[in-house]
Structure 1
Amino acid sequence: MAARAKGHRAPMVPRRVVMHHVVEDLRGTMIERVGDHLLQLLAKGVAPNEIAVVAPFVDKVLEHQLSSLLGLHGYAIAHVSGSKRLLDLPFAGTLLTLLQLTHPQWRLYPTTGDIAQALNVLLDLDPVRSMLLAAYAQGEDWRALTDANVCARIGYAAVQGYDFLRRHLAALREPASLAEIVQKIFTELLYPLNPSPSNLQGCRYLTEAARHFQVFSAAAALGEDSGWHFMQMIQRGTIAADRLAAPALEGGAVVLTTAYSLLMDKGNTFAYQYWLDISRDAWYRSDAKELTNPHVLSLRWQEGQVWTNFLNEELRREKAARTVLGLSHRCRTAIIAAESACDSYGSEREGELAALIAEMSGQRGKQDD
């Protein structure tokens, strides 16, 4: 540990795979240029699931802008994140809401917001009409829609759709195993809506999880409470969407993920990787916090050794080096790096990884030959 303090070592990026370096002042413009470059690869015949867009964090701005740009040309984005909950996926969340409504004995009643989200997915309603109808339908048993004012505000098609859902939910309350009812909700109500690749994989994973949990509950003799325990594990994140990475690669979608999630997903490689926001310090995050420091608490820490800022910076660089090398080993053809002088909030960014790649590229903003 002490030997590390003798000198800094910068992360090594394999020169042969850094094909292109995008540099822009604004982050939105950077994302547009990345999208344009990505579309050029797709036009050349590169399969969408052979491309990974990697960032230290994936925010709504990046996901929405990139999804919209690719969607205009008929391509999809599969957001793969180990921290994403199944409840955060619209179709999987809808399936879980319907599962609770068909099992009132669990006493896990969905909120008005959950029901509104489900109606938004199932009936293709805007948020205002979804919330209006959800407030009317709130309860174990959805009542018949007889309020003329509500009917007029949501429209005839929504009234018909609501009546169909109400009758269908009543039929789904017939006794059935957990795996069977999850499969029925998916195949009868959600699959006909043509879900996106990420939503489809989320529902499939949820169906698979229900089957595995049913086997476990039988062995553990959970009895009639098995469904309640299953929902508790979903809501607490014990059963999460962290296994969606591998299935997402099988679909025809470009993968959007974080560096951490990609490295944790063992075995997957890509022909092309886009490293975004390389000017952010998040690529060099430190493990040491104000109240916790895993290095000092480690058994390898030498008694009497002092934690210094110099040592902290050295360890940050070593961690970044492992991240960069790990990602490059998952790339078979080329890496495209992208940075912006300002982030989405207008704050200036200047990271060490950006400076290193610029030096290796020979010039900032290098274009493809």
Structure 2
Amino acid sequence: MNPERNLVLSSSNKIYLHGEASIGKTSLACQRLQYLLSDSTTADQGILVLVPQRSHATIYQNVVASINSPHNFDLSILTMSSLVRRTVDLFWPLISNISGFYRPYEPPSFLTLETSQYYMGRIVDPLLAKGYFSTVSLSRNRLLGQLVDNLNKAAIIGFPHTEICDRLSEAWVGKDSQKRVYEDAQEAINAFRSFCLQNNLVDYSLQVELFKEMLWQNPLCKNYLTQLYKHLIYDNAEEDPPYVHDFVADLWEDLQSALVIQDDYAGYHSFLGADPNSATRFKSMAQETIHLENTNDFAQQKRNLANIFIDFSKPVEFKVEDIHAFISPANQRARFYPEMLQQIAESIRTKIEDGVSPGEIVILSPFLSDATIFTLKTELSKHNISLRALRPSSSLNDDPIIQTLLFFSIICHPEWEIPIDPYRITSTIAYALSSFDLIRSHLITQEISPKLPVQLPTFENLSENVQSRFSDEQQAQWNTTMAWINANLSVYPLDIFFSKLFGELLSQPGFAFHQDLESGSSTAQLINSFKKFRHAFGYQLDIDQEEMAKEFIKSVQSGLLAATFVPDEQDDDENSVLITPVMSFLGLNKIVDYQYWLNVGSSGWYERLEQPLTHPIVLSRHWQRGRKWTAEDDLAFSKQTLEKYIRGLFNRCRKEIFLGLSDYSETGQEEKGLLLLHYQALIRRALRNKEDD
């Protein structure tokens, strides 16, 4: 590997580097960046490090921080989305008067995914009242998300957003009523785009279109970018949509050096537009192609095991005990799902007692319920083992910490007149005040008037019979809470209120957030989301702080705003076991010693999510227009997805994988999905070979 390493580090050629995950490609790229930053001959030549997700930028930022005296300071570590937004913002005066905006001489407001869904909701709600989407059994938030996703797909793939309905209808083979749903979706999408143009709102799809169709075609902008960047490091190219590959290909001739990195068998985010086939174009464009492969015995055995796991037709040369040395079920198969979770918790306890770091253990599932996380967290806490959950696509309102912040914000802003469910009042008080239990909290809830706004009673206003049920400590804590509430009524802006609530009350001794690091992170998420919401909401519309804050709270309560906050320093706690969905783990570029797979029988490991308003394959560059999407296509897609997951997870495990198997799933169903069938077939073939011997 030394010649290859030297070539990557110091060559001025354009190199295409590919191989399995966790083989060391990104490490080589970091060394390449270090070389460029330290080389005096590149001092006046800009460097662009392009990554598909913000979380992937951290390792490169650490490289920059480790260099004491770099020669080159002209460095950008960006996602393509960030580059596009910066460029549109910088060159806005160049295109604003020719791009269809109603107020071209005013600056734009850039929308996040969350605020895009908020504004889409303003378009869709009147349509829902008229009976649109009546045959669609989706929550409002998922409906809005799929409409926004359609717009984004059109932009990143490269077709007019007005063709979305036609493309989906052409591929549909079912009842004609579904085509009416596509027509409804097209009408909502067209109305949303018109609304954005009228109010100078630039969502992700508009950013991409403005960049591709206007700025990148403008000589002034194109010359600016081609002169700015002379060296390129492009990591995980397979996880980007094809318009990014188009941009890099156009930039190619003006670069003095380039390193494009691609994972084999990846492209996990195809449902978001990732196109690994498009990324392979750089193999023919590069001057050098390097393939990295781990040749040690264990890596080769994992590779062979993955091949026979995936393909039923391949002969099994492994013994059952050899297979179980890397991927194995529990000693005794559980009957019910909770029993299986207890077995996993016990296995993790044993590993940690044997000296394994909690950070080297990850629990994976195609989906994660609150009940699963709570059960495992409870079981592991019995052994003083911390569990850290990572669910990037979960709603902010799913977090009890966020629910507590929302509760106090509603209580402290009676002018909003937002109702709160009595059960929520009881549970939040019991959670937020350490000395309270559900009984004492329920007593207070019973004293609250049903009229709006919701107002908590002071201790003196409770009946004597109720007062006698509280201890002196509980009375003192309630008085402290009510005193803070009365001193902080109607505080604006809302981010200031959240900061005061966290610092002055909830993080104090006796309250839920005291010495709880996770609560600080969740509060930061909420504040960050509000700031983004305010930027898009308050800039364009003539609305006061009160109304804007109320709209934000209602949006979070509805589950609209997703927890997509990425902290400046990635939380990679080596003292905690990580539990996360499979897709999220594969996107972390993280390798661990031990993996635990849950819901092995579930079809969620490979099936597409229910998406009646969109289709990631039909709305892709490789789909032939007019072709029908059939059951055979669905099966082929499922098998391809399962293969990607198996290879990706095998490559990200150093030692052993444990299968969590139970007769009945979390929902009480007997599940026999493809992953379980592949594993059972593998064991049967190994046993058959043993009998033949």
CA contact (8 A) 2:444 2:457 kept: no
In 2, the alpha carbon distance for the partners of 1:347 and 1:229 equals: 40
Match of 1:261 in 2: 584
AA partner of residue 133 (structure 1) = I
After superposition, give the CA deviation of every residue in 1:139-196 in whole Å (9 maximum; x if it has no partner). Answer: 4543323311222345443333222211111112274532222111112222233365
CA contact (8 A) 1:272 1:333 kept: yes
The SS at the match of 1:129 is helix
The SS at the match of 1:340 is coil
Q: Which of 184, 200, 218 lines up with 2:500 in the alignment?
A: 184
CA contact (8 A) 2:395 2:560 kept: no
Matches within 5 A, 1:192-341: 192=508, 193=512, 194=514, 198-213=518-533, 219-220=539-540, 222-224=543-545, 225-243=547-565, 249-250=572-573, 252-263=575-586, 265-286=587-608, 295=617, 300-301=623-624, 303=626, 307-308=630-631, 310-341=632-663
Quick one: structure 1 residues 109 and 28, their matched pair in 2 at CA, closer, same or farther if it must change by over 3 Å? closer
Quick one: structure 1 residues 102 and 269, their matched pair in 2 at CA, closer, same or farther if it must change by over 3 Å? farther
Q: Does 1:110 align with 2:432?
A: no
Identity %: 20
Q: Does 1:164 align with 2:487?
A: no
After superposition, give the CA deviation of every residue in 1:69-90 in whole Å (9 maximum; x if it has no partner). Answer: 2101112222222342222222
Q: Does 1:36 align with 2:346?
A: yes
Q: Which of 6, 14, 22 lines up with 2:329 in the alignment?
A: 22
Q: Does 1:76 align with 2:386?
A: yes
The SS at the match of 2:383 is coil
The SS at the match of 1:73 is coil
Match of 1:144 in 2: 458
AA partner of residue 82 (structure 1) = P
CA contact (8 A) 1:288 1:295 kept: no
Q: Does 1:91 align with 2:401?
A: yes
CA contact (8 A) 1:90 1:199 kept: no
CA contact (8 A) 1:201 1:248 kept: no
Match of 2:442 in 1: 131
The SS at the match of 2:661 is strand
In 1, the alpha carbon distance for the partners of 2:614 and 2:454 equals: 46
CA contact (8 A) 1:52 1:274 kept: yes
After superposition, give the CA deviation of every residue in 1:231-278 in whole Å (9 maximum; x if it has no partner). Answer: 233224343224479855347432222223334x55455443211121
Please report how far the alpha carbon of residue 226 of structure 1 lies from its aligned counterpart in structure 2 after TM superposition.
3.3
Please report how far the alpha carbon of residue 304 of structure 1 lies from its aligned counterpart in structure 2 after TM superposition.
6.1
Q: Which runs of 5+ in 2 are unaligned?
A: 1-170, 172-307, 312-321, 688-693
- TM-score between the two structures when normalised by the length of structure 1: 0.78
Q: Does 1:51 align with 2:371?
A: no
Match of 2:40 in 1: none
In 2, the alpha carbon distance for the partners of 1:355 and 1:214 equals: 50
The SS at the match of 1:339 is coil
Q: Does 1:100 align with 2:410?
A: yes
Quick one: structure 1 residues 306 and 284, their matched pair in 2 at CA, closer, same or farther if it must change by over 3 Å? closer
Please report how far the alpha carbon of residue 55 of structure 1 lies from its aligned counterpart in structure 2 after TM superposition.
1.1
Quick one: structure 1 residues 79 and 179, their matched pair in 2 at CA, closer, same or farther if it must change by over 3 Å? same
Q: Give the number of equivalent residue pairs.
A: 353
After superposition, give the CA deviation of every residue in 1:215-243 in whole Å (9 maximum; x if it has no partner). Answer: 66665575423322332332243432244
In 2, the alpha carbon distance for the partners of 1:63 and 1:323 equals: 22
CA contact (8 A) 1:197 1:253 kept: no
Quick one: structure 1 residues 292 and 202, their matched pair in 2 at CA, closer, same or farther if it must change by over 3 Å? closer
Quick one: structure 1 residues 306 and 60, their matched pair in 2 at CA, closer, same or farther if it must change by over 3 Å? closer
In 2, the alpha carbon distance for the partners of 1:292 and 1:87 equals: 25
Quick one: structure 1 residues 101 and 25, their matched pair in 2 at CA, closer, same or farther if it must change by over 3 Å? closer
Deviates more, 1:55-64 or 1:282-291: 282-291
The SS at the match of 1:322 is helix
Quick one: structure 1 residues 196 and 78, their matched pair in 2 at CA, closer, same or farther if it must change by over 3 Å? farther
Q: Larger Rg: 1 or 2?
A: 2
The SS at the match of 1:226 is helix
In 1, the alpha carbon distance for the partners of 2:474 and 2:605 equals: 47
Please report how far the alpha carbon of residue 115 of structure 1 lies from its aligned counterpart in structure 2 after TM superposition.
2.3
In 1, the alpha carbon distance for the partners of 2:538 and 2:606 equals: 47
Quick one: structure 1 residues 85 and 60, their matched pair in 2 at CA, closer, same or farther if it must change by over 3 Å? closer
Higher RCO structure (Cα 8 Å, ≥6 apart): 1
After superposition, give the CA deviation of every residue in 1:40-62 in whole Å (9 maximum; x if it has no partner). Answer: 33234443333221112323543
In 2, the alpha carbon distance for the partners of 1:306 and 1:84 equals: 30
In 2, the alpha carbon distance for the partners of 1:339 and 1:356 equals: 14
AA partner of residue 160 (structure 1) = A
Quick one: structure 1 residues 215 and 72, their matched pair in 2 at CA, closer, same or farther if it must change by over 3 Å? same
The SS at the match of 1:69 is helix
Deviates more, 1:26-35 or 1:295-304: 295-304
After superposition, give the CA deviation of every residue in 1:20-54 in whole Å (9 maximum; x if it has no partner). Answer: 41241423332222212212332344433332211
In 2, the alpha carbon distance for the partners of 1:90 and 1:69 equals: 19
Please report how far the alpha carbon of residue 330 of structure 1 lies from its aligned counterpart in structure 2 after TM superposition.
4.3
Quick one: structure 1 residues 291 and 174, their matched pair in 2 at CA, closer, same or farther if it must change by over 3 Å? closer
Q: Which runs of 5+ in 1 are unaligned?
A: 2-8, 364-369
In 2, the alpha carbon distance for the partners of 1:22 and 1:238 equals: 38
In 2, the alpha carbon distance for the partners of 1:187 and 1:223 equals: 26
After superposition, give the CA deviation of every residue in 1:310-330 in whole Å (9 maximum; x if it has no partner). Answer: 443222111222233344444
